Amino acid sequence: MRQRSPETWRQIRDSAVGLMAERGFDAVSVDDIVAEAGISRRTYFNYFAGKESVLFDPDPEDPLLWAELIAARPAGEPLWTALHQLIRAYTTAAAERMIRQRLVLRASPELAACSRKVCDRFWDAVRAWASQRNADSTELQLDLLINTAQTVLNTVLPRWDVDTGIAGLHRLIDEGFTLLQSPEWTTS
List, in sequence order, the alpha helices (H) in the chain. 6-23, 30-37, 41-47, 51-56, 62-71, 79-93, 95-107, 112-133, 139-156, 165-181, 183-187
Q: Rounded to whole angstroms, what are the CA distances from 46 to 5, 39, 53, 137?
A: 11, 11, 12, 42
Tens digits of residue pLDDT in 103-141 = 888 877 777 665 655 677 888 999 999 998 888 889 999
Mean pLDDT of 13-31: 91
Average pLDDT, the chain: 89
- What phi-psi label fits residue 24: left (phi over 0), alpha (psi between -120 and 50 degrees) or beta? left
Q: What is the pTM of this model?
A: 0.85
The Cα–Cα gap between 70 and 85 comes to: 10
> Buried (b) or exposed (e) across 91-114, using 16+ Cβ within 10 A?
bebbeebbbbbbbbbeeeeebeeb
Angle (CA) 57 59 63, round 5°: 105
